[in-house]
Structure 1
Amino acid sequence: MKNVYINSVGSISAQKTFDNAAFLNDITKYHDNVIPAVNPVYKDYISPAAARRMAKGIKMGIVSSKIALNEANLDNVDAIITGTGMGCVRDSEKFVRAIIDNDEQYLTPTPFIQSTHNTVGGQIALELNCKGYNFTYVHSSISFESALMDALLQLQLDEAKNILIGGVDEHGDHTTEIHKIINHIKPEQVGPYNLLNSKTEGAVFGEGANFFVLSNEKSNSSYAKITSVQTYNTLQENALKQQAIAFLKEHDLSTDDIDLLILGNNGDVNFDVFYNTLSEAFSKTPQAYYKHLSGEFNTASSFGFWLASKIIKTQTLPEVVKLNGVQASSYKTVLLYNQYRGENHSFTLLSQC
């Protein structure tokens, strides 16, 4: 089967990541438990008339995908595959609120039309006039990994040459309040550098869109090679180390071969134990984390994927993401691990190309 490469990236997050020329040089600090994405100048990518009718998630998805396509020097792709946990939740809330307020009468259809989970993928296709394969995965916190596995299979089997994939989620006011009530969001304010020292349940919530052009042909802009992706719905804490070792063994690797371990710690005292367990198993390996920069959301792992891609290409590990003090001379093989509230575990293995 053919190799698969990450040929370009495009990111909109709680940091100023939309500029591919920079790499976490200017950190946006926050002290809220629900943090917004830093907006680029949307009119540089979308006409103001069209942007006014778009929810934030749609705008983030379109712009991050255009950034990725521009870097890859492509006008179109063979397929668009999107992952999202909540879809266009703001329009969903708006439509439900209108049903209640208007006693189910005189409803404007636009919020309903734009509230579906596949709206982002559809709008990107309309912008590109792409009539190829277009699929959206709504698999909670492994939505991005599901999109990634789909693209990986198609490219390995030479069914496509260039595929645009991404993960996108936005905040919704009502949905956020529900998460606060059920303690999924931290009750107290936590600064970005104190996240791992938090002793309470819940996480700091974020939003964002991260898109990538994947190809089975290496280019001058290639960031890394995707070796493998594996997901597990449930995984016991005491079996995590053995599962990670087994995953690496499938590719003739051991823990000593990993140059960097990227973990999805979010400060939740009840579930960060999974990350701590794996961290101990890779105690001699440099480690990094990222949700203190991006916040937690269903497709936050796509930000971790962006981080890994940038580290491999630039061969630099920003100080702000370091989880331990172990040093490496180079970053050729990177392992990512993510889970959310003890479920939907994923391992992603990237290597230098």
Structure 2
Amino acid sequence: MTKPIYIHGSGSISIQPTHEPGYRFEAVKAYAQNPVPACDPDYKSLIPALQLRRMNKSMRMAIFASRLALQEAGKETVDAVITGTGLGCLSDSERFVETVLANEHELLNPTPFIQSTHNMAAAAIALSLGCKGYNMTYVNNASAFASALLDAGIYLAEHPDHTVLLGGVDELGARTPRFWELAGYLKHDNPVIPTPLAASSSPGEIAAEGASFFVASQQPTSQTLGKVIAGDTCYETADAVAFVNRFLRRYGLAAGDIDAVVLGYNGDIRYDAVYSTVGSTLFAALPHIGFKHIFGEYDTVAGAALHLALRLLGQQDIPQQLLLNGIRPRSLRRILIYTQRRGTNHGLILVEKEG
């Protein structure tokens, strides 16, 4: 990312009531199940009922979250839509495959197939806004949101007077979690949200869903929530500490220049050690903030982490539910987000308070 991008509006749907105005992450919804569906808002308040009937879950979440972001930014439309998704419109994908099998490849309803494509959420947003500009969807597993963020930076560098709607969305299906269970991805031992990270001694994650969208440009405004200084991603790394260090040095920073670090602990004993190593080696004196223990795990949950970081920069406080090591910040100016999933798709996002 050659230049910072400024975030003017942020909207999020998750398994927490992040869609509610003024939500500050102090009251966290608890769940004792796996997977966990999103906490649905009143979609009809922002999406016409006739349109809503034709939308799958990904489209509903994406359009609602994007309109929350636009409202906060004071915008009615944008010049480009850039999204990331791990599995796309999963429910319609499942429905189409089930119909293929049931009807033996004949007399198929094309609607689930049309709405199952990964770029359907971005297309639905563009149609709802009348945006005929650049429209791109990245499908890179747990790096999908980071890829969309990097592309937004490139686009805005080339079009400095434009505004971009950037986001990530993933939904749960009815059948796919059964395959995750067979693969050993899901947690069975005490699958609860908030996940007790300190006491976790079992493998598996708690699967969830959500959508987070942001209105971004290269120029600050009076509505600016913060700016993304940089982002980076890599599929695998043998040394996460070196990966984070290289990232900081690339932008002329040291660990001491960061005020807090957001770490993607999710309670899976097989992979959480990487966060402990990075936190204790580079950021031992800084507040450690968790987010997956309240949001669950899905491919574009990094978008929810960015939404959280922007809110924390605004309120200049870290709720007790999110603080992992008990260290309170003197102030919050720079927050580093570090996440990975199942040992791969490592991602970094550096967020800074404007002004």
- Flag whether TM exceeds 0.5 (same fold): yes
Aligned mates of 2:325, 2:197 — CA distance in 1: 15
Does residue 264 of structure 1 match 2:264?
Answer: yes
Counterpart secondary structure, 2:175: helix
Counterpart secondary structure, 1:285: coil
**Matching residue's letter, 1:276:** S
Q: 1:209 aligns with which of 208, 211, 220?
A: 211
- Aligned-pair distance for 1:249? 1.4
Aligned mates of 1:252, 1:67 — CA distance in 2: 34
**Matching residue's letter, 1:328:** P
**Matching residue's letter, 2:225:** Y
Match of 1:162 in 2: 163
Please, what TM-score do these two structures have when normalized by structure 1? 0.97
Match of 2:97 in 1: 96
The share of aligned pairs that are identical, in percent, is 38
Aligned mates of 2:235, 2:310 — CA distance in 1: 25
- Aligned-pair distance for 1:160? 4.9
Post-superposition CA distance 1:290-340 (Å, at most 9, x none): 111111000011111111111112212111111111121101011110111
Counterpart secondary structure, 1:345: strand
Aligned mates of 1:72, 1:268 — CA distance in 2: 37
Aligned mates of 1:221, 1:159 — CA distance in 2: 18
Counterpart secondary structure, 1:243: helix
Which region of structure 1 is more displaced relative to structure 2, 62-71 or 212-221? 212-221
- Aligned-pair distance for 1:159? 4.7
Post-superposition CA distance 1:3-37 (Å, at most 9, x none): 42111100000000012422124321111121110
Structure 2: gaps spanning 5 or more residues: none
Post-superposition CA distance 1:141-170 (Å, at most 9, x none): 010000000001222343552100001000
Aligned mates of 2:37, 2:335 — CA distance in 1: 28
Does residue 280 of structure 1 match 2:280?
Answer: yes
Residues 1-353 of structure 1 correspond to what in structure 2 (within 5 A)?
A: 2-191=3-192, 192-236=194-238, 239-281=239-281, 282-353=283-354
Please, what TM-score do these two structures have when normalized by structure 2? 0.96
Counterpart secondary structure, 1:321: coil
Post-superposition CA distance 1:95-140 (Å, at most 9, x none): 0001111122211110000000000000000100100000000000
Distance 1:103 1:160, change over 3 A: farther
Aligned mates of 2:131, 2:215 — CA distance in 1: 14
**Matching residue's letter, 1:251:** Y
Which region of structure 1 is more displaced relative to structure 2, 153-162 or 127-136? 153-162
Aligned mates of 2:145, 2:3 — CA distance in 1: 21
The 8 Å contact of residues 10 and 20 in structure 1, kept in 2 or not, is answered as no
**Matching residue's letter, 1:259:** D
